[in-house]
Structure 1
């Protein structure tokens, strides 16, 4: 994995399990890249209140990120998969779905129809345009953004299953939003929107988007991927 920042040599981090042959952090200069392994000290961290065990990627990565972001940082990779705090039926196998460093679910889906409606409501409350549609969508940090002819705002709230291409996903709940969506994902600046309008439209939980859990992958899924355009079908709760 390469991490890049303007004016800095890129940071190259191995995603292979096990790290180097010695199993320790090693830093070396490769042209303009700082390269380091994944082996390091085991540590505990919190993801939205949940304790997660991880492996520290070392001082070189920490120094690089601290300088790039102007705040103290550590780069940590997850060492063990963990399960979601969702009902046991969420994965379709009688077990809670496995998660990486996400705090609630494997995937988050939003629709452009819902985003367009929210943007129109924000525009009614302000004399100048605060956000573009793409900026607004990025605030919600989804894995999947879907659109289609005739799709209505917030109809995803009533979906129970989603199929994209040949892969099925179970909808496991709505995503409640907090002040994080008020942070510009490019500049880091903060504003009152879109949370202010979302609270007015959706109530105190301010839900936007739905959580998805992947069902059993089809036998030939290794040779497939979710791409654009691809057919989307849904099953509703009623």
Structure 2
């Protein structure tokens, strides 16, 4: 039996901006602490994404003791500090795909910074504790809630899956193209496809559905330049029902801490 070990943990505090690698993270009701609790929206409250605006990849987020520090990877603007205790702007209605929920604008000055950085109107909003966004009932197990993530609190990918993909590419790509929360080593490529439930530390996870991949994976996270890979190659061997699949979306039970080096204990296989 293969041994699986957590090798990387990532959070993306502001949806669709640069992620943060952590050695340990706190699992909370909506997912990992700080993960996608902030989001950029347009004038109508629709979420902004690298799918359409690749330049968002050039904004990097770092965790500070009391807030987030956002900087431009090309140094075009002075960094912006966003305190955790903030969100004193107006309440707004926001949309993530087919979901609608309430959020609160951080403040007008922050909106001006992001609008200048991206060259378009971009309002930063925060998800208050009293906002409840439910995971798609088709795949939820117990009305789990989620942050501003596309649909699920977690995404897991095995390092072997990326290694296998890179063996087929002319130029290797890093894991940041796929924006996982949990990466593990061990086993064979795509072993996670066969998992039904597993534990890391004190937290139980259940696999909801495979993750369908989009053009965001073709955006170089350092340069914001779009290409054709890895979707073109993935489509040759990871397509099902006209969707390219890579990684597994998860829901979870309970809270706790997960750490790099933790063993992934598979409880049930499909």
TM-score (norm 1): 0.76
**Deviation of residue 13 (structure 1)?**
2.1
2:147 pairs with 89, 100, 105, which one?
A: 100
Off by >6 Å, runs of 4+ in structure 1: none
Q: Residue 209 of structure 2 corresponds to which residue in structure 1?
A: 173
**Deviation of residue 103 (structure 1)?**
2.0
1:115 partner SS:
helix
Contact preservation (8 Å) 1:83, 1:97: yes
Contact preservation (8 Å) 2:88, 2:106: yes
Q: Residue 83 of structure 2 corresponds to which residue in structure 1?
A: 14
Figure out how many residues of one structure are paired with residues of the other and give that number: 197
Q: Residue 71 of structure 2 corresponds to which residue in structure 1?
A: 4
More helix by share: 1
**Deviation of residue 70 (structure 1)?**
2.8
1:138 partner SS:
helix
Contact preservation (8 Å) 2:218, 2:230: yes
1:86 pairs with 133, 137, 144, which one?
A: 137
1:68 pairs with 117, 134, 143, which one?
A: 117
1:1-238 → structure 2 map (5 Å cutoff): 1=67, 2-5=69-72, 6=75, 8-16=77-85, 37-79=86-128, 80-87=131-138, 90=141, 95-123=142-170, 129=171, 131-132=172-173, 135=174, 137-148=175-186, 151-203=187-239, 204-217=242-255, 221=256, 225-238=257-270
1:82 partner SS:
coil
- Distance of 2:210 and 2:184 partners within structure 1: 16
Gaps of 5+ in 1: 17-36, 124-128
2:123 partner SS:
coil
Contact preservation (8 Å) 1:84, 1:103: no
Contact preservation (8 Å) 1:86, 1:172: no
- What is the RMSD of the two structures over their aligned residues, measured on CA atoms? 1.8
**Deviation of residue 7 (structure 1)?**
5.6
Contact preservation (8 Å) 1:159, 1:171: yes
**Deviation of residue 118 (structure 1)?**
1.0
Which deviates the most, 191-200 or 77-86? 77-86
Gaps of 5+ in 2: 1-66
- Distance of 2:228 and 2:162 partners within structure 1: 17
Which deviates the most, 138-147 or 62-71? 62-71
